[in-house]
Structure 1
């Protein structure tokens, strides 16, 4: 049953990642990957909140592993960073890594703190 929950979450998260990335990137004329940053930060805040919530293992599989796992993407972050660096966009490449890690961790802590405060 767990594998089905993970697959269901991923089936929702992956298309949402793609659609969100395309919608965000369409609004920016820069080569910086704002769409990937957006989905990674959104997934991090959701995962941080999920970690703080008293939920059943099935919910963690569905939302955490399936949905957030498919919504967020370290591989695309890596690819886009290398693409920036290879095209001479070294500062944006460094900014992408730094901003993604700092914002992602900050978002996870924020999600955790908000859910903890609301449930306590």
Structure 2
């Protein structure tokens, strides 16, 4: 199980690194994609045969956990807050939270419609 999480985590971390390197909004893309993928997993698990524990750990805890990053959003928001850019800091939280929630709901809905 630990090896599955490690393998998924390595892949997710590399994907996040590439997204952050290629686009200014890389963290937003990574977090939103992570929520969408987890929503898909939850939606599929709700109506299909339960996931194998190893596959679930590899994908959810490993890959999605390493892909998405709460700490990077927190750091950027704190930097803006400390620089007196309170509106930007609040905007970061609102955009990331809204996009994540919307993507998670979309993922669940898509899985339920497709299965």
TM-score (normalised: structure 1): 0.87
- Provide the alpha-carbon RMSD of the alignment: 1.0
Match of residue 18 from structure 1: 17
Report whether the alignment pairs 1:43 with 2:39: no
Match of residue 93 from structure 1: 89
Q: Give the unaligned 5+ runs of structure 2.
A: 46-50
TM-score (normalised: structure 2): 0.90
> What SS is found at the alignment partner of 1:53?
helix
Task: Tell me the CA shift for residue 36 of structure 1.
Answer: 1.1
Structure 1 residues 30-69: aligned runs within 5 Å: 34-54=25-45, 55-69=51-65
Runs of 4+ in structure 1 deviating by more than 6 angstroms, as ranges, are none
Separation of aligned partners in 2, 1:108 and 1:77: 18
Match of residue 76 from structure 2: 80
**Count of matched residue positions in the alignment of Structure 1 and Structure 2:** 110
Q: Give the unaligned 5+ runs of structure 1.
A: 26-33
Separation of aligned partners in 2, 1:3 and 1:52: 25
String of CA shifts for 1:84-113, please: whole Å, max 9, x gaps: 111222211101001111110110110011
